[in-house]
Every structure is written in structure tokens, then in C-alpha cells.
């Protein structure tokens, strides 16, 4: 498992909130765990292949499949995985496919890998190897030249696909704690993982008893129950919203029928932040004051000259003045650098940017020209893309894709631009939805710009939560989704 999949067939009709709040009703102490603790090698796993059904927010949306087998080379093993997800978002069918192949040694240390991702028809490949204390890998997207990356290593590296196997290889002993350096194909980076074997439990949600294993990585926690055969029989993630459970192959693949029949916008229903009173004409809002209930008090939204947040007795009170810009804070140089999502040094991007801004002298005129070009040439469709080049190639994208391409074009013109993620008010849905926009440096101050809404000055309903364009930088958003409450106090 250990993928952003999840939610089992057994809980398709259950209340996820109830599951999270009343865990003791579902999981019970199983008494003394087996002794000696179950422990297997990759060569003698009792069941090296398994399937899991996936349900998200109450709707079955896909399956995952994992298999361990000997590699052609002596002493090496292959960890193969696949996942397919299909759901509806804003009335359109969304498709996500993932395939992975990790070649590891007998201790599950990473030797080489090949990952393939498909998001709504856009493909990306990651391939790489570990050799001589170095991780070398390349990213291929939108049929462009591979992006080469290299990282020095001073300790063993493990693939994310091995996280459910590592406690089994070490021995399932309650109280054990493990720390790993993990290569995560989804974030395309190295992450620290901490695992603890906490208890031995039974549950009505799976057969028999299993060891409860808590995994913390990237600031997110997930809980997996691994039985004495070494199988992950059940998993909870995203505060109980994401769950997966063991199924046979036929049952797991039955997601296709469920996905076709399920017409609900599962992402919208999960992430929408409703407000008691609707806002009129939000695209013209210049000022917004609101009370925000932060997720568990663990995170706070961004606070600067444009968006000021202060703590009250009960919650956070924020004021957004769309006419204000935040002074340059020393991040301008970083906001000119390319990334795997914003490829501003690509020759095609640079040529296009110069063409769009030909004859434009001021930064504001360049911003306006880029927004006009995006409005005329890039279709607004709720399809996922990996990068600015993908959007340019497909000539379509959602808010994140528009912001990636806008940032790439502006950086190519020498204008520092950063990507912002947060919430924006949707008249259609009567609440705030998660959204991405940008900030460009104009006359020494960061100006909020929304390429999706064609706004050179983003309206005041844009609530900034985190800045960043890589998946790792977006992880803090997970704490907000489904856990945020907003009460509008004033809007004008």
C-alpha cells in the first residue's frame, strides 16, 4: 500500500468521521502477540502477492496490487506495484495510473527503480539507480529531454514500496522502532520515515489479529495493520479519510463498475469549505475578514502584508486586503530558479515568453500579456498535469497547471514568480475550494496574480495557506483538507 490511494470495501458505507473519532470501537487488544515475533526474508514471504480495494470518502475508486519476486540477478528482488484510480471531479471522470518496479537487495535496500505515472492522459517516467554512494535518476515528461538529478548518500536508501515490508524483515515485535531514508517517487525526493510497532490488535475490519504499525513521513501519519503472515490487511491515512484493505483480485478490480456508477464529485464533497452565508461577486472582492478554525491548531495560514492573521480566544481571525502587496523578503533569487514542475529554462518556454512579451517594458505589462495569452491559448479543464511543459503541450489544464505555466513564462522573462496554494471562494459551490495561483515581484513587492481567473490582482477571497510547487511542499495542505471551517465576518 503506502500510496495516496485508500479506503476499503468494508467501509464503503461507513462514516469515516466516526471511524476516526471512535477507533477503540473498531480495534481491540488481541492479547499477547506471537512469540518469537514473526519475521521473514524476501525469499520466504508466506504470501508475496496481494490486492487491495480502494474507496475514497465513501466511494470505491480503484485498486492496488503488490508483488515480491526474485530478480534475474542473484541475491536481488523485484518489488512490483500498480494502482489504478478512477473518480468524478467537477462532473468529469478522472483517471490516475501508477506502476512501479524497485530492484532491491535481500534487506530491501534500493538498487534501481522505474516508475510510470499517468494523470488524465499525461505521462511521466522516473528511472534511476543507486551506485557508489550516489542516487542518480531522471524525470521524463511531455516527451521532452530527460531531467537529470543526482544526490549523495551517506546511509542506505529504501524505496517507499518497501515500507510495509521493512517491519516484517526486521521482526514484528511490539515496541520496536525503525528509521529509514526513503526515496519517494511521488515527491521525487528523499524523505525520512519513522515506524513504530505499537500494539497487537483484532478488529471487525479484518480477519484474525494484526500488528499495528504507525508510519510518519513528510509530516503525515498512516497506520497499517500487518498480520503474522506479513500482509498489510488494513490501512488508515489522512485522518481516516483514506483507507485500504485486503481483497481478492476480482473484488479489487470491481472498482470499475463502482466508479462508473458513482457520479458524485468525491473530491469536491470532501474538500469544500462551506460558509454560512454566500458571498456575492467574489471576483470583485477587495477586502475579506474571516474567522478560521485551523486543523488541530497544528498549522497556521500564511501571514504577511496582504493577509494578516492573529489568534483570538477561539480561532484565527484573518484580514485580506487585495490592494496590498508584500515587500520582497529575500526569496526573489529562488523564485527565478527552474524546477521539475516549472521549467523556465526550457528553450520552448523561453522562446514563447519572449514572443508574448515582445515590446513590453514594464513588469505589469508583461504580466498582463502573459495572462492574455494564457486566456486565449490554454483551455481551462479539470485535468491533472505534472508540469508547465505538460500544460503547454496539451494546451489545457486546471488552476495548478495554469499557475505552473504562468510561473515558467514569467521566470523566463526575468520576473521572480512563486506558486501559492490555498483556498478561493466558488460561487457555484457556495464555499471555498482548494486552488493554486501565483505571486510575481513587481516594483519590489509580491503581487498576487491568478492566471486561472485572469486576474492581475487576485481578489480578496484567495486565502494563502502554503507556498511551493513541488509535491513535498504541498504536503502541509493535507492537514487542512476536510478539517477547515471558515466564518466570513466582513467582505467588500
**Cell numbers given for 127:** 528511472
Predicted pLDDT at 94? 65
Collect all residues with Cβ–Cβ distance below 8 Å to 76 and sequence separation of at least 6. 70, 103, 104, 105, 111
Mean pLDDT of the chain: 86
**The domain defined by 273-491 carries CATH number 3.40.50.12160:** no
Select the highest-mean-pLDDT range: 4-13, 19-28, 453-462: 453-462
Burial class (CB in 10 A: 0-12, 13-18, 19+), 420: buried
Q: Is 349's pLDDT higher than 80? A: yes
Q: Which residues pair with 419 in a beta bridge?
A: 438
Grid look-up 476480482 returns 250
Whole-angstrom Cα distance, residue 204 to residue 198?
Answer: 19
- Please compute the mean of the pLDDT values over residues 320-324 and round it to a whole number: 95
- Please compute the mean of the pLDDT values over residues 383-389 and round it to a whole number: 84
Select the highest-mean-pLDDT range: 7-16, 114-123, 316-325: 316-325
Higher per-residue pLDDT: 314 or 291:
291
Select the highest-mean-pLDDT range: 105-114, 216-225, 258-267: 105-114
Whole-angstrom Cα distance, residue 424 to residue 437?
Answer: 10
Q: What is the pLDDT of residues 102-153, one digit of tens each?
A: 999 999 999 999 999 988 778 899 999 999 999 999 998 876 778 899 999 9
Predicted pLDDT at 272? 82
Least confident of 13-17, 41-45, 259-263, 280-284: 13-17
Predicted pLDDT at 19? 39
Query: pLDDT band for position 256 (50/70/90)?
Result: low
Q: Domain locations in the chain?
A: 9-263, 273-491
Tell me the backbone φ, ψ of residue 389, rounded to 5 degrees: -65, -35
Q: Is 20's pLDDT higher than 60? A: no
Least confident of 98-102, 176-180, 203-207: 203-207
Query: pLDDT band for position 17 (50/70/90)?
Result: very low
Predicted pLDDT at 54? 75
- Please compute the mean of the pLDDT values over residues 353-359 and round it to a whole number: 97
Query: pLDDT band for position 294 (50/70/90)?
Result: low
Residues shown for the chain = 492
Q: Is 179's pLDDT higher than 70? A: yes
Tell me the backbone φ, ψ of residue 397, rounded to 5 degrees: 175, 165
Q: Is 392's pLDDT higher than 60? A: yes
Query: pLDDT band for position 22 (50/70/90)?
Result: very low
- Please compute the mean of the pLDDT values over residues 465-475 and round it to a whole number: 85
Q: Which residues pair with 126 in a beta bridge?
A: 115, 139
Predicted pLDDT at 45? 96
- Regarding beta strands 177-184 and 158-159, do their DSSP bridges make them parallel or antiparallel, or are they unpaired? parallel
The share of the chain scoring above pLDDT 70, in percent, equals: 85
Rg (CA), the chain: 24
Q: What is the pLDDT of residues 441-467, one digit of tens each?
A: 999 999 999 999 999 999 999 999 999
Question: Do 171 and 228 touch, CB atoms closer than 8 A?
Answer: no
- Please compute the mean of the pLDDT values over residues 22-28 and round it to a whole number: 66
Predicted pLDDT at 257? 52
- Regarding beta strands 110-119 and 445-449, do their DSSP bridges make them parallel or antiparallel, or are they unpaired? unpaired
Q: Reduce the DSSP state of residue 289 to 3 states and report it.
A: strand
Higher per-residue pLDDT: 362 or 121:
362
Q: What's the angle, vertex CA 88, arms to CA 399 and CA 276, rounded to 5?
A: 70
Question: Do 370 and 357 touch, CB atoms closer than 8 A?
Answer: yes
Q: Is 384's pLDDT higher than 90? A: no
Whole-angstrom Cα distance, residue 473 to residue 25?
Answer: 35
Give kind and range of the element (H or E) at residue 194.
Answer: strand 189-203
Higher per-residue pLDDT: 195 or 303:
195
- Please compute the mean of the pLDDT values over residues 314-321 and round it to a whole number: 89
Amino acid at each position: 500500500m503506502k500510496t495516496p490511494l485508500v479506503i476499503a470495501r468494508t467501509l464503503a458505507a461507513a462514516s469515516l468521521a466516526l471511524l476516526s473519532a471512535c477507533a477503540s470501537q473498531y480495534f481491540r487488544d488481541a492479547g499477547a502477540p506471537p512469540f518469537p515475533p514473526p519475521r521473514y526474508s524476501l525469499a520466504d514471504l508466506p504470501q508475496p502477492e496481494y490486492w487491495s480495494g480502494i474507496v475514497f470518502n465513501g466511494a470505491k475508486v480503484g485498486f492496488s496490487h503488490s508483488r515480491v519476486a526474485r530478480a534475474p540477478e542473484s541475491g536481488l528482488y523485484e518489488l512490483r506495484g500498480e494502482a489504478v484510480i478512477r473518480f468524478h471531479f467537477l462532473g468529469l471522470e478522472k483517471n490516475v495510473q501508477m506502476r512501479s518496479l524497485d530492484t532491491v537487495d535481500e534487506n530491501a535496500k534500493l538498487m534501481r527503480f522505474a516508475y510510470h505515472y499517468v494523470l488524465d492522459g499525461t505521462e511521466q517516467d522516473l528511472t534511476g539507480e543507486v551506485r557508489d554512494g550516489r542516487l542518480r535518476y531522471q524525470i521524463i515528461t511531455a516527451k521532452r529531454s530527460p531531467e537529470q538529478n543526482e544526490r549523495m548518500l551517506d546511509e542506505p536508501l529504501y524505496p517507499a514500496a518497501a515500507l510495509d515490508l521493512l517491519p516484517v524483515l526486521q521482526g514484528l515485535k511490539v515496541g520496536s522502532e525503525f528509521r529509514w531514508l526513503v526515496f519517494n517517487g511521488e515527491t521525487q525526493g528523499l524523505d525520512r520515515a519513522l515506524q513504530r510497532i505499537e500494539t497487537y490488535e483484532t478488529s471487525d475490519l479484518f480477519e484474525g489479529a494484526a500488528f499495528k504499525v504507525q508510519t510518519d513521513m513528510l509530516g503525515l501519519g498512516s497506520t497499517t495493520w500487518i498480520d503474522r503472515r506479513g500482509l498489510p490487511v488494513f490501512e488508515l491515512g489522512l485522518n481516516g479519510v483514506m483507507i485500504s484493505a485486503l481483497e481478492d483480485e476480482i473484488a479489487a478490480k470491481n472498482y470499475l463498475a463502482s466508479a462508473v456508477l458513482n457520479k458524485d464529485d468525491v473530491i469536491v464533497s470532501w474538500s469544500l469549505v462551506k460558509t454560512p452565508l454566500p458571498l456575492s461577486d467574489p471576483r470583485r472582492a477587495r477586502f475579506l475578514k474571516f474567522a478560521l478554525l485551523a486543523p488541530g491548531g497544528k498549522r497556521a495560514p500564511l501571514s504577511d502584508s496582504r493577509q494578516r492573521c492573529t489568534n483570538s480566544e477561539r480561532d484565527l481571525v484573518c484580514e485580506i486586503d487585495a490592494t496590498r502587496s508584500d515587500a520582497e523578503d529575500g526569496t526573489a533569487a529562488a523564485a527565478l530558479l527552474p524546477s521539475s514542475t516549472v521549467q523556465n529554462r526550457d528553450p520552448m518556454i523561453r522562446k514563447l515568453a519572449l514572443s508574448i512579451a515582445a515590446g513590453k517594458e514594464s513588469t505589469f505589462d508583461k504580466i498582463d500579456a502573459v495572462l492574455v495569452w494564457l486566456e486565449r491559448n490554454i483551455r481551462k479543464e479539470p485535468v491533472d498535469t505534472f508540469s508547465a511543459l505538460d500544460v503547454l503541450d496539451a494546451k489545457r489544464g486546471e488552476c495548478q497547471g495554469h499557475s505552473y505555466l504562468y510561473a515558467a513564462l514569467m521566470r523566463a522573462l526575468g520576473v521572480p514568480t512563486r506558486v501559492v496554494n490555498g483556498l478561493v471562494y466558488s460561487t457555484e459551490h457556495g464555499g471555498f475550494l482548494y486552488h493554486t495561483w501565483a505571486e510575481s515581484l513587481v516594483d519590489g513587492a509580491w503581487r498576487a496574480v491568478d492566471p486561472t481567473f485572469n486576474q492581475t490582482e487576485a481578489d480578496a477571497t484567495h486565502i494563502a495557506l502554503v507556498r511551493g510547487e513541488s509535491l513535498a511542499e504541498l504536503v502541509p495542505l493535507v492537514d487542512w483538507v476536510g478539517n477547515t471551517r471558515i466564518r466570513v465576518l466582513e467582505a467588500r
